[in-house]
Structure 1
Amino acid sequence: LWGLFGNVITVLVLTKQGLRDTLNILLTSIAVFDTVFCFTQLLQEGIFILNNYDTHAGNKYLIAYFQGIVQWNHLALTSSIYSVAIIGVERLIAVCFPFLAARICTPYRTKCLVVLTEVFIFTFTFPQLFLFTEYKFQKHLVVRLIRSWATNSHAMFYWIYLMPLVQVILPLCVLTICYSVIVVMLRTAFKKKSKMASKITKSKKLKELKIFRLLFTLMTLALISFLPAVLMSMTLFSTKASGFVLNTDSFDFIQILVKFFSHLFPSANFIIYVTLSSKFAATYR
C-alpha cells in the first residue's frame, strides 16, 4: 500500500511538471509501472489471504489471476527495470559526453524509446497468458495448476532460458556496466577535485567537493543495491538451465529478494536524479 500510494503521488507530481524533460519522462514511466506492479501484487496477496478463509472463492480468483493478470505483473516489473536501465544509459551519456548529451538524449527520442521498449516487452511477455491453462480439481475444491508447457520444448526454452535472460539478467547487466563506468569516472574526478580543494580552501571548490562526495556516496549505494539482484538472477538462471530444481521455499525466497532489490532502483534513481538534480548538474558544470 505504501509503494502504491508513493508511486501514484510521484506520477501526479511529475506529470504536473510536464514531460518536456527526458528524466521526467523516464521517472514518470518508472512510477507508472511500479504502480501497476504494486496493484497486481496486492491482488495476488489478497487472493492468497482470501484462499485461507474461503477456498472456493480463493481458487476461483486465483484462476482468473493466472489467466489474465499475472502477465501485467511481470510486464510492469520488467518495464520498471528496463526504464531504470535506460536512465543508467542516459546518465552514462551525460557523464561521458556532457556537451553532446542534450543533442543525443532529446525528449522525443526518449518517448520513442520508451514506447518501443514497451512494445517489445509486451510482445515478449504475451505468451505467459498461455502457460497456465490447465487446471485439475481435486477433493475439497482444491485447484492445482498444471503447466501445459512442461512437455513442449519451445515453451520450456521460453520459460527456462528466455524469461530470466530478457526480463532480469540483460537489463541489470546493462545497468551494472553503466553504473560501474560512472562510478569509476566519478572516482577519477573526485581525486582531481581533492587536489584542487587542497590548494584552494574555504572556496567554491570545497563546496563542490562536498556535493561531489554526496553524489558519489549515493551512486555507490545505488550500485550496491542492484548487484545482489544481478547475482541472484544469474544463480536462478543457471539453476534452471542445469536442471537442478529448487524447492518451493528457496525459489520463492529468491524471487522475493530479486523483486525487492529490483524495486530499490526507482528510489535510488529518484533521490540521485530528481532530489539532487541541480547538485548533479553543478558537479559537471
Structure 2
Amino acid sequence: MSQNNISSNLQFNGTFYQNNSSASMLNEGLIRIEITQFIQKVNFWIAIVEILMVICGILGNGLALIVINRRSLRDTSSSVFITYLAIFDISVLVVHITNLAISRWIQSYILHCFLAYLTDLVTFCSVWIMVIMTLERCVAVHSPFLAKRFCTRERARYSIYILIVVAFVLFSSTFPNIYTIDKIQQKCTVKLKITTNIILTHVRKNL
C-alpha cells in the first residue's frame, strides 16, 4: 500500500509540474504576443507622426523658397543661404522618409548604405549653412564696410559650393571607416568599435 501511495504521489506531482510548466509557457507566449502587438501599434503611430512632420516640413520650406526668391529679396546674400538651406532641409526630409519606406518594404543593403551616406551628407550641409549664414550676419553687423565687400551673392554661392565639395570629400573618405554592411539584416550599420569609443570618451568626460 505504501509503495502504491508513493508511486501515485509521484505521478500526481509529475503531472502537476507539467501542467504548471505548460501554463507558464502559455502565459509567456501570450505576453510576447501582446508585447509585439503593442510595439507594432507604437511603430505605426510613430510612422504616421513622421510622415506628417515630413509633409509639414516640405510645405514650410517650399513656402520659404517662394517668398525668398521674390525680386525684392533676391539680390541679398541671405537669400542665397536661405534658398540652399531650404533645399537641403527638403532633401533631409525626403531622404529620411525614403529610408523609412525602403527599410520596411525593400531589403537591400546597397540602397540602405546609399541613403545613409546621403542622409549624413545633406544633414551636414544643412547644419553648416546655418553656421556660415550666422558668421555672415555677424560680419554684416560688426563691420558694415567689410560686409559690402565680402557679403555678396557671388561669395555666398562660392561658399556653398566649397561646403558641398568639402562634405562630399569628407564623407566619401570616412564612410567606410564609420559604417559596416550587415548582410544578414541587409542594412548599413555603425561599427561597434566607434560607438563604444564614443560612449567611453563621454563617460570619462563626465567622470
Coarse TM-score class (shorter-chain normalised): 0.5 to 0.7
Contact 2:117 2:175 in 1 (8 A): yes
TM-score by length of 2: 0.59
Comparing 31-40 with 101-110, which one deviates more in the overlay? Answer: 101-110
Distance 2:110 2:92 in 1: 17
Write the letter of the residue equivalent to 2:92: F
TM-score by length of 1: 0.44
Residues 1:44 and 1:146: Cα distance change in structure 2 (over 3 Å): closer
Comparing 90-99 with 122-131, which one deviates more in the overlay? Answer: 122-131
Contact 2:99 2:115 in 1 (8 A): no
Contact 2:116 2:188 in 1 (8 A): no
Residues 1:69 and 1:11: Cα distance change in structure 2 (over 3 Å): same
The answer as to 2:87 corresponding to 1:11 is no
In percent, how many aligned pairs have the same letter? 20
Contact 2:179 2:188 in 1 (8 A): yes
Query: Please, which of 84, 87, 112 is the counterpart of residue 158 of structure 2?
Result: 112
Residues 1:148 and 1:11: Cα distance change in structure 2 (over 3 Å): closer
SS of residue in 2 equivalent to 1:59: coil
Tell me how far 1:13 sits from its aligned partner: 3.2
Write the letter of the residue equivalent to 1:242: T
Distance 2:181 2:100 in 1: 22
Write the letter of the residue equivalent to 1:11: L
Residues 1:112 and 1:3: Cα distance change in structure 2 (over 3 Å): same
- What is the aligned length? 147
RMSD: 3.1
Write the letter of the residue equivalent to 1:75: L
Deviations 1:213-269 (CA, angstroms, capped at 9, x unpaired): xxxxxxxxxxxxxxxxxxxxxxx998446286xxxxxxxxxxxxxxxxxxxxxxxxx
Distance 2:164 2:179 in 1: 23
Query: Please, which of 144, 152, 155 is the counterpart of residue 98 of structure 1?
Result: 144
Deviations 1:81-109 (CA, angstroms, capped at 9, x unpaired): 11110111111112211343222212111
Larger radius of gyration: 2
Gaps of 5+ in 2: 1-54
Query: Please, which of 196, 201, 207 is the counterpart of residue 242 of structure 1?
Result: 201
SS of residue in 2 equivalent to 1:45: helix
